[in-house]
Structure 1
Amino acid sequence: MTRLPFRSVFVSDVHLGLADCQAGYLLDFLRSMQCERLYLVGDIIDFENMAKRPFWHASHTAIVAEILAIAARGTRVVYIPGNHDAALRRLAGQRIAGIEIALDAVHVGADGRRYRVSHGDEHDGESSTPAWLVTLGDALQGFVCGMNRRCNRLLRACGVHYRPLSIHIKTRIGSALRFIRDFERRVADRARADGFDGHICGHIHYARMHQDEHVLYLNDGDWVEHCTTLVEHADGAMELLHWTERRIALGHSAAVVAVPLPLASAA
């Protein structure tokens, strides 16, 4: 089988151990591509949910096995734990079964652009959102994901392909949109202050790519609601992909082209 070649792949918010995880689509993506670098950008395993509601499906085991196989084939795999798999942060600096564990990473693109890679939850601390509202938001998120799962089960029975219904709900709630935009601004501001060309993260389950005053904000989305990943091509161009029965490019950032300096005029 011919695999799609990428220089780098960024995957986050898989939430293995959660009933809403779209494991089948992710497994299909992993088996359909090859890359030099695979970044697991947090919340790959949802230890937090499993402590409350134990759940594990055979497809979740298959994803773990596929990631181990990717590492065994020579791909550099970097696991950056998020808030739902934070227990793994104590293992930062170690290498397990060929997988590096790190708190964050610096990725240098093929075109020379430098990106900070982190899960993104470190930017939550700058928000003044009350604890009760965060709890309510988590409950609503669970409700929306459950509704998304049940509706898509019905759609599949009717022969209709997967639809990320939850994104339509989120983008129509003013407070949710403000939260997303504020998060994006904080991430971009920090990357700019630290001298990076961009920041790659996940966390908020909202895939997006946009330029913010010369800083490229890249969110690879999730595999619970939207089934999205970020890929880097051989020339450094970045692309957001939606991967279900439909495979759609959601955004594309061209590689930086080096412009030669003008030759000095002869004396």
Structure 2
Amino acid sequence: MNLKRKVEIAVISDIHLGTYGCHAKQLLTYLSSIEPKKLILNGDIVDIWQFKKRYFPKSHLSVIKKIMDFAADGTEVYYITGNHDEMLRKFADTSIGNISIVNKLVLELDGKKAWFFHGDVFDISIQNAKWLAKLGGWGYDVLTLLNRFVNWGLEKLGKERYSLSKQIKNSVKSAVKYVKDFEKVAADLAIENGYDYVVCGHIHQPKMLVMENKHGTTTYLNSGDWVENFTALEYQFKRWKIYNYNKDKLSPFFADEELKDMTVKDLIAAITIVKSPNKNKKA
């Protein structure tokens, strides 16, 4: 019996595979609960900036395997490059089976135009001082590692999880202003170019908001992240919604049994073997 939710489009971003802050197990649970026609990976999927050979656990490999399985089963997978995986930009506009690597994406959804991109193009600190942004990323990684120990203690005491980095960012006025400016610039550009939807990642702030200026309106959407918020965007029946793992556990899904039983060696072997897309998949 297939209990997976069918969605036309699922958008996830800012997973940061290869870092201590990534919550791959929760993401696997979510991915195992859906059957998307299109899966859009909107940047910062593998964190190449912070990549360490000694830290890439089985659950992180399982996420990559799950994405490849989607593609092999007929799902169109679009990998939109972000700043933490910017090395992939040299491969933009190339495809392997059902997986396409792009810097941006435009889709027509039920007569409306949707514009997808990561969003780091708006970040001056990254454009003009990449070494400083990378240093900040290292500090963020340390903070998320510390946060894991804090949450381990809170869970043992039966209390709710707490995000240190999220609380710090939300309490700093300049950070709040940056988020608002980011949203406004994205919306203004979308309106200027005639897009009905603009879909970003990058700032780890899930959002769905109708924005307008004197030239028109657009819907700004942000898929959030899988470090702090555990969120995704879903499009189905001509409507967008924000999926929140902590609030919307629609079914008691867990990572696929096949993935749970595979060893790290088996996962690496499976990832390096490119499957042919299944052309006979039933709708």
Q: How does the TM-score come out when normalised to structure 2?
A: 0.78
- Given residue 226 of structure 2, which amino acid in structure 1 is its aligned partner? W
CA–CA distance in structure 2, aligned partners of residues 135 and 49 of structure 1: 8
Number of residues paired by the alignment? 245
Match of 1:240 among 239, 242, 262: 242
Mapped to 2, the partners of 1:128 and 1:118 lie a distance apart of 16
Is 1:81 matched with 2:84?
A: no
Aligned-partner Cα distance in 2 for 1:132–1:77: 31
Map of 1:29-178 to 2, 5 A cutoff? 29-50=30-51, 54-110=54-110, 112-125=111-124, 134=133, 137-138=136-137, 141-160=140-159, 162-178=161-177
Q: Which moved more, 1:23-32 or 1:123-132?
A: 123-132
Deviation at 1:31, TM superposition (A): 0.4
Conserved? CA contact 2:121–2:127, under 8 Å = no
8 A Cα contact 1:17 1:54, kept in partner: no
Cα distance in structure 2, aligned partners of 1:248 and 1:218? 21
CA drift at 1:159: 4.1
C-alpha change, 1:135 and 1:18, in structure 2 (3 Å) is closer
In structure 2, how many angstroms separate the alpha carbons of the residues matched to 1:63 and 1:159? 29
Question: Residue 125 of structure 2 contacts residue 132 of structure 2 at CA under 8 Å; is this kept in 1?
Answer: no
Mapped to 1, the partners of 2:126 and 2:81 lie a distance apart of 21
Are 1:218 and 2:228 an aligned pair? no
Aligned-CA RMSD value: 2.5
Distance 2:196 2:187 in 1: 9
DSSP-derived class of the 1:36 partner = strand
Q: Which residues of structure 1 form unaligned runs of 5+?
A: 250-267
Q: Kindly, what percent of the aligned residue pairs are identical? A: 34
Quick one: structure 1 residues 135 and 76, their matched pair in 2 at CA, closer, same or farther if it must change by over 3 Å?
closer
The normalised TM-score by structure 1 is: 0.83
Aligned position for 1:254: none
Q: Secondary structure at the match of 1:67?
A: helix
**Residue of structure 1 in register with 2:179 after alignment:** 180
Aligned 8 A contact 1:68 1:97 in 2:
no
Could you tell me how far apart the structure 2 residues matched to 1:12 and 1:21 are? 11
- CA deviations 1:75-118 (Å, max 9, x no partner) are 111111111111111111211253111111012223x2211100
